[in-house]
Amino acid sequence: MSDYTNDRITLAHGGGGRLSRTLVEDVFLPVLGNDCLNRLNDSAVLNLPDKRIAFTTDSFVVDPLFFPGGDIGRLAVCGTVNDLAVMGAVPRYLSLGLIIEEGFELESLRSIIQSIKDAADEAGVTIVTGDTKVVARGQADGLYINTSGIGSIERDLPVHKGRVRSGDLLIVNAPLGQHGMAVITSREELGFKTTIKSDVAPLNGLIDEMLRVSENISAMRDATRGGLAGVLNEMADQGDVQIILDEIAIPVNEDVHIACDMLGFEAIHVANEGVLLAAVPPDEADRMISTMRLHPYGRHAAVIGEVGDKGRARVTMRTHIGTHRVIDVLSGEQLPRIC
Amino acid sequence: MCLAIPMKLIKIEGERGTVEAGGVQRQIGLQMTPDADIGDFLIIHAGFSIQRMEEKEALETLALFEEMERLA
Amino acid sequence: MTLKGEDAVYTAQRLAELINFEAANMPMAFMEVCGTHTMAIARNGIKSLLPECIRLISGPGCPVCVTSNEFLDKAIALAERSDVIICTFGDMIRVPGSRCSLEEQRGLGSDIRIVGSTLDALALADKNRDKDIVFLGIGFETTAPTVAAAIIEAYNKRLDNFSVLCAHKVMPQPMKALSESSLNIDGYILPGHVSAIIGEAPYSFLADDYNKACVISGFEPLDILESILRLVRQVRKGFFFIENQYVRVVKPQGNPTAQELLSQVFEPADAEWRGLGIIADSGLAIRDEYAQFDADKKYQISIAPPIEPPGCRCGEVLTGSITPDLCGLFGTSCTPMHPVGACMVSSEGSCAAHYRYTLRDA
C-alpha cells in the first residue's frame, strides 16, 4: 500500500490534507516554485506594468498525454501563451489547474510538471497560482489541465481588433498539421510509425519579432482546433471578406501529407499548436517573411493567400491544377476513413 | 469508394509486412499480394496491399500521356 | 502521374481544351460510380474545367451512403450489448440509423472503436478474449477481401470472439440497373481500386450490351481529366469498350488472389441498396463454412422495422437522378453538422461533397 501511495496519485492527494501538501511541496514547488507561488496564498497578487491586459483561459485534454514532440504540459502552457500573443499582448502570468485521475503515475506527473516549467521558461511566463483535484478512477482519463493567462498590452495596435482588410496578404509561420497528425498517428490502435512531431511551441518570441517589423498586422490567429480552414473561415466571417488561398503555397511536410492521405484527412483541417496566421499589408509582406524566417519557429514562413473583396464572406482555394473550390469548416472531428 | 495509396514494402514477416512512404510506416496484411518483394510499391487500402504497382506501368501512363499531347 | 506546379496547371488546361474540342458541344453525361472519384472531382474543382455539354453525375459508390438503415439499426442493437465491442471504419460512425447513429450510441456508453483495418479488430479480439468483437463489414470489392482475409485468420487462430456484420456489396450489378434506368448515361468513370481487384471483364456487358463508354480511372485530378477525354473519344467514335487509364495499378485480369479470397469466404447474395432497393446478387454473404464469424447468424439480432427520414431524397441522389441541391432538405435541415441522410454524412457522399466544395453562391 505504501508503495502505491509513493508511486501513484491517490484520492488523498487531492483531499486537502497532509498528502496534498506533500504533492505541492515535493512535486510542484521544487520545479515550478517562484516568489509568488511559494507563498501558497489563496490568490496571487500581481504587478502589472500596463493598464490594459489580455486575459484568456483554455482547458487541455489529449490522448495520449505524451506524444511525439511534446506532452499535455507543454501544450497547456503554449496554448494559453499563444492565445495571448496573437492578440498582440505580452504573456506574463499563468494559472495551472490540474484534474488528476486516481492511480495516475507520479513519475508521469513529475515529467509533465517539468515540461510545464520548461515551456513557461521558454515563453518567459510565470506560473503564479494553481490548483489540484483528484477524481476517482474512471471519472477522468489520466490528467486534464486548465491554464488561464494574463498578458500585458503595451502598445495600441490594430491586431487587437483582429479585422482583416481587403488586399492583405496571409502568412503562416510553419508547416500545417504536425500536431494533430502526431497525436493521432501515435495512438496505438492505428498501427502507424511515423517521423511526425507535434509543432507545439510558444510563439510569443516570434510574434514579438513580427510586431517589431510591422505595427500594421491587421489580424493574427493561432490555427489550433479546426486547423487553418477553421480560422480562415472565422476571419472571413468577422471581416465579411473573401479569402483566396493558393494550394501549392501552403507548407505541409511530406510525412504529414502521406499520413493525411492514408486516413482521408486534409492538412488544412488538422489541428496545429505552433502555427499562426497573420494578415499583413502587401507592401510589408516580404520584410515580414524574411524576419520570420530568421526565427526558429518561423523558418518555413510563407505567403499562402490573400484577402479579397468585402461583402462575400467565404474561403476559396486555387488548387494545384488551377481550378477553384470552397474551403469549408469541418463538421466535428476528422475521423479516419477508408473511402 | 476506396481510398488507397502507394507505399513501399520494407519488411516481410509471414502474412504481414511493413510499408513506408514519406517517413510514415504501417503494418499491413500481404494476403492479397503473396509474391510481393521488398522494395515493391504496393497499393494500400484499409491495412492491406491490394495490388503491386509496377514502375514500368506507371511510366507507361506518362508516356501515353505525352503521346496524347503530341497528337493533339 | 503527379505533376507539380505550373506543369499540372498547364496539363489540366490542355486536357480541358482537348475535352472541349473533341466533345464539340455534343451533350454527354458521365457517371463517376466511385465516391472517392466524387471527392477528387469536388476537391479539385474539375467540373469547372469541363465544357457545358459534359455533365458529371455522382453514382452509388459510397459504401456508407448505400448502406441500409436496417444494417445500422442492427449494428446499434449489437452495440447495446455489454459483452460486445463494435469495430468500424470511421466512415460509419455518424450515419443516422432509424433512431440514432453509432456516435450517439457510443455517447450512451457502448464500446464502439474506430479502426483503420480489420487487422486492428483482430488484434483487439486477441487482446480481449472475454469480449465479443463485431466488425462492421461495409464496402465493395476492394474492402471485402480485407474482411475475407481477417475471417480466415480468425478461423486459423480460433478467434471465436470475432465476427463480422456483413453488408459488403459488388459494383457491376447496380451499374446494370443504372444502365437500364431512364438516366441516359453515356459512359462511366469506372472505380479504379475496385477494378484493381476484379479486373476489366466484369464490366464488359456495359460496353457490349448497353453501348456505354467505359474508362477505369485513377484518382489524381489529371487521371480523371484524361479518363473524361477518353470517354468523350469513345462516344464521338461510337466505339465502346473497357479502357484502362489506371494501368499503373489495374491489371486486365485484376488480382486473382484477392478474387480467390472473396470466393473462399463469401457467396453472392441479394442486397438492399439505399435508393436502389434490392438488387439480385449484388451483395456478398458469408459462406456457411464460416457461419460462426457471421454476426447476423451468431446473434440472431431482432430489430424494429427501420424508419426512413421523411423528405430525404438520398435514394434519388445516389442514382444520379437528382443533384443534391434539388433535395428540399439540402443545406437547410440536412447539413454536414446535422446530417439527415447518409449522403451528407460520409465526406465522399454526394451531398457532403456538394456542400463542402461547390461554390454555393457562384
Of the candidates C11, C140, C248, the beta carbon closest to that of B61 is on C248
Statement: residue A209 has pLDDT above 90: yes
- pLDDT score recorded for residue B58: 58
Q: How far apart are CA A140 and CA C69, in angstroms?
A: 34
- ipTM surpassing 0.95, yes or no? no
Q: Is the pLDDT score of A5 beyond 70?
A: no
Tell me the residue type at C253: Q
Least confident of A50-54, A311-315, A330-334: A330-334
pTM of the full predicted structure?
A: 0.91
Beta-bridged to residue A325, according to DSSP, are A317
* Geometric angle at alpha carbon A323, from A270 and C320, rounded to 5°: 85
> Hey, are the CB atoms on A189 and C43 less than 8 Å from each other?
no
Tell me which residue of A128, A130, A120, A94 sits closest to A20, measured CA to CA: A130
Rounded Cα distance between A103 and B47, Å, is 35
Residue of B8, B11, B13, B24 for testing the chain A interface, max A β-carbons within 10 Å:
B24
Distance between CA atoms of residues C221 and C8, nearest Å: 9
pLDDT tens readout for residues B49-62: 999 987 666 555 55
Contact state of A191 with C361 under an 8 Å Cβ cutoff: no
C-alpha A7/C-alpha A2 separation (Å) is 9
User: Which of the four CATH numbers 3.40.50.720, 3.40.605.10, 3.90.650.10, 3.40.50.150 does domain A158-326 have?
Assistant: 3.90.650.10
Query: A324, A34, A333, A237: which is closest to C347 by C-alpha?
Result: A333
The H-assigned helical ranges of chain C are 5-23, 35-43, 63-66, 69-79, 102-107, 118-127, 144-156, 172-180, 192-198, 204-208, 221-237, 256-265, 295-299, 314-318, 342-345, 350-357
- Hey, which chains touch A, using 3+ CB pairs under 8 Å? B, C
Name the closest residue on chain A to residue B5, using Cα atoms.
A262
* CA triple A186-C166-C65, angle to 5 deg: 75
Q: Who wins on pLDDT, B69 or C118?
A: C118
For residue C193, the chain B residue with the least C-alpha distance is B2
Q: Which residue of chain C is at minimal alpha-carbon distance from A323? A: C45
> For an interface test with B, which of C117, C198, C253, C318 has the most B Cβ atoms less than 10 Å from its Cβ?
C117
Whether the Cβ atoms of residue B33 and residue C173 lie closer than 8 Å to each other: no
Name the segment(s) of chain A with CATH classification 3.30.1330.10. Answer: 41-153
Could you tell me the CATH superfamily of domain A41-153?
A: PurM-like, N-terminal domain (3.30.1330.10)
Give the per-residue pLDDT at C319.
Answer: 79
State residue C1's pLDDT score: 44
- The answer to whether the CB of A220 falls within 8 A of the CB of A320 is no
pLDDT digits (tens, 9 = 90+) for A253-311: 999 999 999 898 999 999 999 999 999 999 999 999 999 999 999 999 999 999 999 98
CA dist., res. C259 & res. B33, Å (int): 11
User: Residues of A with CB below 8 A from C358's CB?
Assistant: 325-326
The shortest C-alpha distance from A244 to chain B (Å) reads: 28
DSSP tag of C278: E
Contact B20, B8 (CB under 8 A): yes
Alpha-carbon span A28 to A32, nearest angstrom: 6
Q: Which among C103, C140, C135, C139 has a CA at the least distance from the CA of C120?
A: C135
**Cα separation, A292 vs C263, whole angstroms:** 59
Q: CA–CA distance from A103 to each of A28, A64, C18 (Å)?
A: 18, 16, 67
The list of chain C residues with pLDDT below 70 reads 1-5, 347-348, 358-362
Q: Which of A152, A260, A263, A169 is nearest to A214 (CA)?
A: A169
* Residue A1 pLDDT class (50, 70, 90 cuts): very low
CATH code 3.90.650.10 region(s) in chain A? 158-326
Average pLDDT over chain B, rounded to whole? 84
Q: Are C212 and C179 in contact (CB under 8 A)?
A: yes
| CB-CB under 8 Å, A336 with C357 | no
Contact residues, chain C, for B3 at CB < 8 Å? 36
Answer yes or no: do C5 and A248 touch at CB < 8 A: yes
Domains along chain C with CATH numbers: 5-61+175-241 (3.40.50.11750), 64-170+254-299 (3.40.50.11740), 314-357 (no CATH)
Nearest to C149 among B2, B48, B58 (CB): B48
pLDDT for position A51: 79
The answer on pLDDT for B67 being more than 80 is: no
The answer to whether residue A336 neighbours chain B at the CB level (below 8 Å) is no
Better-predicted residue by pLDDT, A207 or A39: A207
Q: What is the mean pLDDT of chain A?
A: 93
Q: How far apart are CA C91 and CA C68, in angstroms?
A: 14
Question: Could you tell me if A258 lies within 8 Å of chain B, comparing CB atoms?
Answer: yes
First to last CA, chain A: 51
Q: DSSP 3-state assignment of A275?
A: coil
pLDDT digits (tens, 9 = 90+) for A137-184: 999 999 999 999 999 998 888 888 888 999 999 999 999 999 999 999
Q: In chain B, which residue's Cα lies nearest the Cα of A258?
A: B22
pLDDT above 60: residue B43: yes
CA distance B19 to C3: 24
